[in-house]
Amino acid sequence: MSERLPTHLEIASMIRLAESNGGSAMVLGKGERDAGTVLIVHVFRGGNATLYERMPQLDGTRPFVVSKAQDPEKPYEFQEYLDRRRRQDPDIWILEIDIADPERFIALMPR
């Protein structure tokens, strides 16, 4: 049996965590119920988006790190990137959070 929490439960907990910290969250793309990869898109009050992805580390942890930031001059490129990732991996989950302090939110995530 895997030690990993099924992805749909992880997503549900992230939504509740965002809401309990005064923000909101919405699933933009559902992936594989039990083992899909999770991408977190952070926006705050309609501002520029930042993408967080889990990146494996040498010590075995998998923290969320910034992998892409929206260019204010070319906002469409961010969505194109998400669309491309979705085509490459249909099992991917995309969760958008609207919260003031994304670093604090990400720090609360299990590694």
Tens digits of residue pLDDT in 74-94:
989 999 999 999 999 999 999
pTM of this structure: 0.90
> Is the separation of the CB atoms in 35 and 4 below 8 Å?
yes
Lowest pLDDT segment from 9-13, 15-19, 61-65? 61-65
Q: Across the chain, how many H-helices and E-strands are there?
A: 3, 5
Name the maximum alpha-carbon separation found in the chain. Answer: 47
Burial call 61-83: b when 16+ CB within 10 Å, e when fewer = eeebeeebebeeeeeeebeeebe
**Res 4: pLDDT:** 76
Is the pLDDT at 11 greater than 50? The verdict is yes
What gap in Å lies between CA 67 and CA 89, rounded to an integer? Answer: 16
Of residues 4 and 78, the one with the higher pLDDT is 78
